[in-house]
C-alpha cells in the first residue's frame, strides 16, 4: 500500500495514546476514538478501573516512552513521581528472603496511574495532528479479510452509528477488546489464545502519608513464604502529593479484605509487620478498591496466515499479565515502538509485520509471568506454549535459583533487575557471560530483617529492629550503575518481577 495518511486509534488509554503518538510521527492525521470523556487532568475515570490500584512503570518501558515523547520522564518527576532505583531505593521481602539494597542502572517510576496517563495524554494531544472523539464507541472494523478500511462507531450520547474511514486502524481498546470477534467478522479463522490464571486479585487504598515521608521513605514490597499457599503480597508505594498507595494482593483463595476494617488486620498477617506499621501512621483517603483482573491472557494474531492490511492491535487488547509483575504498561510501550518502527518503511504487508513485531515484544513479559504463575496451586492454565508444558519445570527451578542468588549477590541482582525491568532479554540469564558471573560473584550474608537505615526508621517513626538495620554508609549508599538487582525474587514480593 501507499503510505497511510489518516489513522484511527480505538481507545484513548495508555496504549492508545502511545499508538497515537507513533502514528502522528508518520501520518497526516490521527483520530482517537474513546468511549469516555478524557479528563483534563490526572483523574480517575470509568474506562480504566485498574487506575485505582498501584501502577509502576519499569525503566524498560519508561525509556521507550521518553523516546516516543522526549521529556516525559522529567515531567512525571516534576509532577511528583518518584524514580525508584531497584533495589537500592526500596525494601523487599521476597518469598524466599530479604533483598539487599544494591544499586543499579534500572528503576521504576512510581506515581498514581492517573498521573502517568495524564502526562502522556497531555503531550500527545498537544500535537494538532491528533484529535479525540470522546463518548464514541468502536463497534466493528470496516472492510474485509484483505484490508480494513475504517471503523463503525456509536455515539454514546444518542446511540447513533456512523463510519470513520481510515488507512490504518489500531485497536488499543484494552482488556475488553472485541478483536477476536472482529477478526472472525472479517472472515479470518479464530485467533489462538492462551490463559494462565493463578486467581490473582488486588485490593488497594490511597493514604496520606505523614508529612515528608512518602517522598523519602523506601517503597515496601512484602511476599509470603512460598510454602504458604495461596500467595499473599503487600506493598506501600509513593504517589504524588505525599500519598501512599497500599495494595494487598493474593492468589486464588487468599480471601482479600474488601471492607475497610479488614484491611489493616490482613496487612498485619503478612510475614512482616512493616506494611501494617506504616498504615497505622497514615490517614486513609479512599475506600478499598478491589480488582480481580489478575489472569495472564495472550492472543496470537501474529500466527494467522493472513492478516488484513490497515489493522494493528496492541496493549491489553492482545495480552494482559498478572499485575504483580508490573509489565502491562511497558509491554504496551513496546507495542507502540514496534508500530512506529514499521511505519518508517510501510511496504507491502507492513501491518502484518507490525503485528508480528508487537507479538515479539510481548513474549518476555508473557513467559516471565506465566512460568511463575503456573506453579501456584489451583492455577488454571489453557496454553499451547511448549515452554510451559509440565507446569513448574526446569525453567522455574533455574528461576528460583537466580532469585535466591540475586537477593545477596550484587552482580546477579543487576542482571536479574535488567530482565525484570524489561531492559535486558531473559536469554541473558542463559548466556556464558552470566554463567561465568555465577561462579565468581560476591555473595553477601543473608538479611534477617528489612534493611532500613536509622534515618529512615526515624523519618517514619518506626522502632529500631535489632540486627536488621542497614548501617549508614553500607552498600545501600553506593551510587547507581554499580550493579544491582531485582531479584526476580522481588516479584514474588509484590512488584519486582521474576526472570524465568
Ligand X SMILES: Cc1cc2nc3c(=O)[nH]c(=O)nc-3n(C[C@H](O)[C@H](O)[C@H](O)COP(=O)(O)OP(=O)(O)OC[C@H]3O[C@@H](n4cnc5c(N)ncnc54)[C@H](O)[C@@H]3O)c2cc1C
Pick from 11, 60, 97, 359 the residue near ligand X by CB under 6 A.
11
Q: Which is nearer to ligand X, 132 or 411 (CB)?
A: 132
Pick from 35, 101, 334, 408 the residue near ligand X by CB under 6 A.
35
Q: Which is nearer to ligand X, 16 or 450 (CB)?
A: 16
Pick from 4, 12, 114, 410 the residue near ligand X by CB under 6 A.
12
**Binders of ligand X in range 314-353 (CB under 6 A):** 315-316, 323, 326-330, 332
Minimum CB distance to ligand X, residue 325 (Å): 8
Pick from 71, 176, 212, 253 the residue near ligand X by CB under 6 A.
176
Pick from 111, 138, 220, 256 the residue near ligand X by CB under 6 A.
138
Three-state secondary structure readout of the chain: CCCCCEEEEECCCHHHHHHHHHHHCCCCEEEEECCCCCCCCCCCCCCCHHHHCCEEEEHHHHHHHHHHCCCHHHHHHHCCCEEEECCCCCEEEECCEECCCCCCCCEEEEECHHHHHHHHHHHHHCCCCEEEECCEEEEEEEECCCEEEEEEEEECCCCCEEEEECCEEEECCHHHCCHHHHHHHCCCCCCCEEEEECCCEEEEEEEECCCCCCCCCCCEEEECCCCCCCCEEEEEEEECCCEEEEEEEECCCCCCCCCHHHHHHHHHCCCCCHHHHHHCCCEECCCCEEECCCCEEEECHHHCCCCCECEEECHHHCEECCHHHCCHHHHHHHHHHHHHHHHCCCCCCHHHHHHHHHHHHHHHHHHHHHHHHCCCCCCEEECCCHHHCCCCCHHHHHHHHHHHHHHHCHHHHHHHHHHHCCCCCHHHHHCHHHHHHHHHCCCCCCCCCCCCCHHHHHHHCCCCCCCCCCCCCCHHHCCCCCCCCCCHHHHHHCCCCCCC
Q: Does 441 bind ligand X (CB under 6 A)?
A: no
Q: Which is nearer to ligand X, 85 or 329 (CB)?
A: 329
The mark string for 51-70 relative to ligand X (x by CB under 6 A, - otherwise) is --xxxx--------------
Minimum CB distance to ligand X, residue 46 (Å): 7
Q: Which is nearer to ligand X, 177 or 399 (CB)?
A: 177
Q: Which is nearer to ligand X, 57 or 411 (CB)?
A: 57
Size of the site for ligand X (CB under 6 A): 36
**Binders of ligand X in range 187-246 (CB under 6 A):** 202
Q: Which is nearer to ligand X, 31 or 173 (CB)?
A: 173
Provide the binding-site residues for ligand X, judged by CB under 6 A: 10-16, 33-36, 47-48, 50, 53-56, 137-138, 172-174, 176, 202, 291, 293, 315-316, 323, 326-330, 332
Amino acid at each position: 500500500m501507499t503510505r497511510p495518511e489518516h489513522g484511527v486509534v480505538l481507545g484513548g488509554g495508555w496504549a492508545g495514546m502511545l499508538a497515537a503518538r507513533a502514528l502522528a510521527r508518520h501520518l497526516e492525521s490521527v483520530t482517537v476514538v474513546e468511549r469516555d470523556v478524557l479528563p483534563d487532568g490526572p483523574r480517575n475515570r470509568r474506562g480504566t478501573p485498574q487506575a485505582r490500584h498501584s501502577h509502576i512503570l519499569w525503566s524498560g518501558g519508561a525509556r521507550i516512552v521518553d523516546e516516543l515523547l522526549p521529556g516525559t520522564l522529567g515531567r512525571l518527576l516534576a509532577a511528583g513521581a518518584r524514580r525508584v532505583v531497584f533495589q537500592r531505593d526500596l525494601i523487599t521481602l521476597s518469598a524466599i528472603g530479604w533483598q539487599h539494597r544494591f544499586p543499579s542502572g534500572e528503576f521504576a517510576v512510581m506515581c498514581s496511574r492517573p498521573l502517568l496517563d495524564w502526562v502522556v495524554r497531555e503531550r500527545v494531544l498537544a500535537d494538532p495532528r491528533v484529535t479525540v472523539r470522546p463518548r464514541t464507541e468502536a463497534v466493528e472494523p470496516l472492510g474485509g479479510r484483505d484490508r480494513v478500511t475504517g471503523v463503525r462507531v456509536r455515539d454514546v450520547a444518542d446511540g447513533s452509528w456512523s463510519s470513520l474511514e481510515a488507512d490504518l486502524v489500531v485497536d488499543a481498546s484494552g482488556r475488553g477488546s472485541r478483536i477476536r470477534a472482529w477478526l472472525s467478522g472479517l472472515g479470518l479463522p479464530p485467533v489462538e489464545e492462551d490463559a494462565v490464571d493463578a486467581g490473582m486479585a488486588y485490593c488497594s487504598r490511597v493514604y496520606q502519608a505523614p508529612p515528608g515521608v512518602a517522598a523519602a521513605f523506601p517503597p515496601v514490597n512484602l511476599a509470603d513464604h512460598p510454602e504458604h499457599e495461596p500467595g499473599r503480597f503487600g506493598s506501600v508505594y509513593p504517589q504524588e502529593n505525599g500519598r501512599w498507595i497500599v495494595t494487598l494482593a493474593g492468589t486464588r483463595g487468599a480471601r482479600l479484605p474488601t471492607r475497610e476494617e479488614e484491611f489493616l488486620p490482613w496487612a498485619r498477617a503478612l510475614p512482616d509487620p512493616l506494611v501494617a506499621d506504616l498504615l497505622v501512621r497514615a490517614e486513609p483517603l479512599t475506600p478499598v478498591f478491589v480488582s480481580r483482573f489478575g489472569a495472564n491472557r495472550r492472543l496470537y494474531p501474529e500466527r494467522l496466515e493472513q492478516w488484513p492490511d490497515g489493522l494493528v492491535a496492541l496493549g491489553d487488547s492482545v495480552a494482559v499479565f498478572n499485575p504483580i509483575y508490573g509489565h502491562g504498561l511497558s509491554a504496551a510501550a513496546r507495542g507502540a515502538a514496534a508500530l512506529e518502527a514499521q511505519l518508517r518503511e510501510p511496504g507491502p504487508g507492513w501491518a502484518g509485520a507490525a503485528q508480528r513485531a508487537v507479538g515479539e515484544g510481548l513474549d518476555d513479559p508473557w513467559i516471565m509471568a506465566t512460568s511463575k504463575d503456573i506453579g501456584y496451586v489451583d492455577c488454571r492454565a489453557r496454553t499451547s506454549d511448549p515452554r510451559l508444558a509440565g507446569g513448574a519445570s526446569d525453567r522455574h527451578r533455574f528461576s528460583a535459583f537466580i532469585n535466591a542468588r540475586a537477593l545477596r549477590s550484587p552482580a546477579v541482582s543487576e542482571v536479574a533487575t535488567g530482565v525484570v525491568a524489561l531492559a535486558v532479554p531473559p536469554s541473558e540469564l542463559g548466556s556464558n557471560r552470566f554463567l561465568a558471573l555465577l561462579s565468581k560473584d560476591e555473595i553477601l550474608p543473608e538479611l534477617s530483617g528489612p534493611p532500613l537505615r536509622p534515618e529512615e526508621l526515624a523519618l517514619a517513626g518506626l522502632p529500631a529492629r535489632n540486627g536488621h538495620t542497614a548501617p549508614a554508609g553500607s552498600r545501600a549508599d553506593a551510587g547507581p550503575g554499580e550493579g544491582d538487582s531485582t531479584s526476580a525474587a522481588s516479584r514474588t514480593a509484590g512488584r519486582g518481577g521474576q526472570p524465568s
